[in-house]
Amino acid sequence: MTDKPFKLFDLKVEVVAGEAPMVCHHVEGSYFLVEGESLVFSDVIHFPMYPLAAILPLLPAKQRVTDDHDWMSTDSEIACPDPHCGARFRITRLGVRTFTHAGTTGLPHARGRPHWKDKAADD
């Protein structure tokens, strides 16, 4: 039972310009990916920590299937937490990745091979 699969969306979090100027050190078009529990920064040299702290709590919900009428399904731009900054962060759902309970849980009695060692997690 613990090897039953579940799916999470991969996400892309991209810096986009809002109506006001950006006052933090954001680079429009830069992005990072979310793959399971991992943040993947491939082309980003830096990412300000205050907006990252504001974005992080939303990512696990965006990874999961939500009701079509849930704002989490429809709203995709997060404002920079600096009220004077115009930066926005667009969260886009990409492909779906399959995990298993045994590959992701921390429960000692249910723990199996970690998902990051399992090729099957790379759908």
Q: Note the residues at the interface with Zn ion (CB under 5 A).
A: 24, 80, 82, 85, 87
Of the pair 14, 82, the CB lying nearest Zn ion is at 82
Smallest gap from Cβ 80 to Zn ion, in A, equals 3
Of the pair 51, 103, the CB lying nearest Zn ion is at 51
Of the pair 11, 87, the CB lying nearest Zn ion is at 87
Smallest gap from Cβ 123 to Zn ion, in A, equals 34
What is the chain's alpha carbon radius of gyration, rounded to the nearest angstrom? 16
Q: Which amino acid, one-letter code, is at 105?
A: T
Question: Residues 101, 121: contact at Cβ < 8 Å?
Answer: no
Q: Write the CA distances from 70 to 6, 7, 46, 92, 93, integer angstroms.
A: 20, 19, 32, 16, 15
Smallest gap from Cβ 45 to Zn ion, in A, equals 16
Smallest gap from Cβ 28 to Zn ion, in A, equals 11
CA dihedral 32, 104, 116, 94 (to 10 degrees): -40
Of the pair 24, 44, the CB lying nearest Zn ion is at 24
